[in-house]
């Protein structure tokens, strides 16, 4: 099917993702008060008082699925960049004729609660698409089968209020805190990035242990939402504080933050300094724009929804890179390291066993993927530092030729996890 290039919901919220208060209900939140309305903006729990996840205090009940009772006609596809225009999540489609709906299905969002009609287009198999979307891709599952799963590596995630009970990652969450978390309920974005990082069926590092900080990356002002990187600074400093209580083997080694860092944003210089502090203590802070602190530029890949995620030939530029790489002579395309981004299935916050598929992803998907790969590398070589990881990631990458959005050939690089891990194993001291 012809690929429809659109920006995903994830891309649209990169600038100020957690200020968008939509989503589902949270389940398990580590707090010390009875009512959510009594929650202070910042809730930091003393490290000595932290409990394991199995003792986390539950303050929310699960709510019903997102179902539109007035869903009486299929949404149409236009050429705008609205990622929600073909949103089929939790909808009952069994009475619709989808025979001439192929392009729309190819650009759709659906989930495990979508009810499909008996007759659907031959080249659209939602069950297969959803299962293939769970694959991290590029040989990651083969590494898992060989015991390289991120076991013993501690990581952190800063994102929206998390539906922490999901089967995909509930056992990975070891601590949960809140810094300026303005969400009144759990949000699908937290479930998405967590499952792509450590999900047992969807993640790159399914055995890594997670310290989660629920966070809104800014404030609501009378003039509108304003991003504030000082909250990220608080989170980074909190991780460093926690690390000071831990042995070297137990310390958090990577922080996944699925948002971009732009010059001029409030707290920008403070953030750069905090990342440098973390780096000096061996903590890799990854964002959607890692080039702000490191010699690393990330981009995303897409593939046909029913193609093999583990074959490099299946991939093309994802939606966001296609726009970024539009005939710009000043871009060094070989400076980008591309990882799977689009056509992914993630955990959803509507229930313990619920999953959702997005044909088009965004840079939010890239960050937990590369952070997960770093966790796999640390399992193999715990002495690996950030700069060496970045250098090796480029050196071992596939050199490929891909089409940009104008169908002009560009030379760039695709991450090669198996070659990277093999190098570390062969050269480990």
Chain segment 23-81, per-residue pLDDT in tens: 343 333 333 222 333 333 445 555 444 433 333 333 333 444 555 566 778 888 876 65
C-alpha–C-alpha distance, residues 329 and 32, integer Å: 55
Task: Count the helices and strands in the chain (H runs, E runs).
Answer: 11, 16
CATH of domain 25-59+134-427: 3.40.50.200
Q: Supply the DSSP string of 125-173, one letter for each residue.
A: -HHHHHHHHH---TTHHHHHHTT-S-TT-EEEEEESPP-TT-TTTGGGE
- Find out whether 354 and 111 touch, Cβ atoms under 8 Å: yes
pLDDT in tens, 226-285: 999 999 999 999 999 999 999 999 999 999 999 999 999 999 999 999 999 999 999 999
Name which residue leads in pLDDT, 324 or 156: 156
Q: Please, are residues 185 and 161 in contact by the beta-carbon 8 Å criterion?
A: yes
Domain boundaries, the chain: 25-59+134-427
The whole-number pLDDT of residue 85 equals: 75
Residue 13 has pLDDT above 80, yes or no: no
Structure tokens at 107: 């650009």
Q: Return mean pLDDT, the chain.
A: 83
């Amino acid at each position: 099917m012809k690929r429809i290039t659109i920006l995903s919901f994830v891309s649209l919220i990169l600038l100020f993702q957690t200020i968008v208060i939509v989503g589902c209900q949270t389940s398990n939140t580590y707090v010390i008060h009875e009512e959510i309305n009594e929650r202070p903006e910042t809730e930091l729990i003393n490290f000595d008082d932290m409990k394991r996840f199995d003792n986390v205090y539950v303050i929310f009940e699960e709510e019903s699925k997102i179902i539109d009772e007035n869903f009486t006609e299929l949404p149409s596809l236009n050429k705008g960049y609205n990622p929600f225009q073909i949103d089929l999540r939790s909808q009952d489609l069994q009475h619709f004729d989808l025979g001439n709906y192929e392009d729309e299905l190819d650009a759709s969002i659906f989930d495990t609660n979508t009810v499909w009609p008996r007759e659907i287009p031959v080249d659209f198999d939602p069950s297969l698409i959803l299962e293939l979307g769970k694959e991290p891709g590029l040989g990651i599952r083969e590494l898992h089968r060989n015991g390289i799963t991120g076991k013993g590596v501690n990581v952190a995630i800063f994102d929206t209020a998390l539906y922490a009970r999901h089967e995909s990652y509930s056992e990975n969450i070891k601590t949960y805190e809140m810094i300026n978390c303005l969400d009144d309920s759990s949000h699908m974005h937290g479930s998405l990035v967590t499952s792509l990082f450590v999900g047992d069926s969807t993640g790159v590092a399914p055995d890594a242990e997670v310290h989660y900080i629920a966070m809104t990356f800014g404030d609501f002002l009378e003039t509108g939402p304003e991003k504030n990187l000082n909250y990220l600074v608080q989170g980074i400093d909190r991780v460093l504080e926690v690390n000071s209580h831990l042995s070297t083997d137990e310390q958090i080694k990577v922080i996944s933050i699925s948002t971009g860092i732009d010059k001029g944003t409030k707290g920008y210089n403070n953030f750069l300094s905090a990342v440098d502090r973390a780096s000096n203590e061996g903590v890799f802070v990854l964002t959607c724009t890692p080039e702000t602190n490191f010699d690393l530029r990330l981009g995303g890949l897409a593939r046909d929804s029913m193609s093999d995620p583990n074959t490099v030939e299946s991939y093309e530029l994802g939606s966001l890179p296609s726009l970024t790489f539009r005939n710009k002579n000043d871009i060094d395309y070989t400076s980008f390291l591309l990882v799977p981004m689009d056509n992914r299935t993630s955990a959803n916050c509507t229930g313990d066993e619920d999953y959702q598929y997005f044909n088009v992803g965004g840079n939010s998907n890239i960050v937990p993927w590369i952070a997960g790969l770093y966790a796999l590398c640390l399992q193999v070589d715990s002495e690996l530092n950030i700069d060496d990881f970045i250098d090796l990631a480029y050196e071992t990458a596939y050199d490929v030729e891909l089409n940009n959005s104008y169908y002009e050939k560009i030379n760039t690089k695709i991450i090669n996890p198996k070659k990277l891990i093999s190098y570390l194993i062969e050269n480990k001291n």
